[in-house]
Amino acid sequence: MKTLRMLGVAGTVVAGLVITACSGGDDDAAPPPTGVAVPVPESAGSSSAAFFSFLTGLSLGDETSEPYLVPDSFAVPADESDDVKKLG
């Protein structure tokens, strides 16, 4: 039973944030990028629920933004006991 629970726990870590942080300007002949890299909000790391909420709130159609910067201090919650959150 404990094993099953642990497997379930592992399954709750359903969200991953790619922590690539790009920087640098775009072409000299191009219009300025509409997105400016900013840090991931600290609140996104306050709990697995907050992290899930942050991730599901990200735009599905963003073509112009730079990725969020992910500071070393940002700790992605890895809750070992939550159930998998349902997606709508």
Partner 1 sequence: MKNCPYSVHSVGRAVAVLSLGLGAVLSTAPAAFASSHREAPFIAGQAQVDATDLYMFRSYEAGRQDFVTILANYQPFQDPQGGPNFYMFNPNALYEIHIDNNGDGVEDITFQFRFKNTSKAATLKVGGKDVKIPLINSGVITGVNPLTLNVRETFSIDVLQGGRRGGKRTSITNSAGGSAEFDKPVDNIGDKVFGGTTGYAAYANQHIYNVAIPGCATPGRVFVGQRKESFYIAVGKTFDLINLNPLGPEVNGNNNDLEGKNVSTLAMEVPIACLTAGTETVIGAHTTASLRQGRVLDGSPPTGFNKVPRGGGAWTQVSRLGMPLVNELIIGLDDKDKFNSSKPVNDAANFADYVTNPVLPALIQTLFPAAVAPTNFPRTDLLTVFLKGIDGLNQPKGVVASEMLRLNTAILPTPADIQNPLGVAGKDNAGFPNGRRPADDVVDLSLRVAMGALCVLTGATDTLKVGCKPSDAPAGSLALTDGVRKSAANYGVTFPYLTTPLPGNFNPAPAAGTVYPAN
Binding positions for partner 1, rule: CB under 8 A: 11-12, 14-18, 20-35, 52, 54-60, 62-68, 84-87
Distance CA 85, CA 49 (A): 8
Nearest CB to partner 1, comparing residues 11 and 71: 11
Question: What is the C-alpha to C-alpha distance for residues 3 and 20, in angstroms, rounded to an integer?
Answer: 34
Nearer to partner 1, 2 or 32 (CB): 32
Compare residues 3 and 63 and give the one whose CB is closer to partner 1.
Answer: 63
What minimum distance in Å lies between the beta carbon of 2 and partner 1?
20
Nearest to 41 by CA among 33, 50, 32, 49: 50
| Residue 2 structure tokens | 């404990």
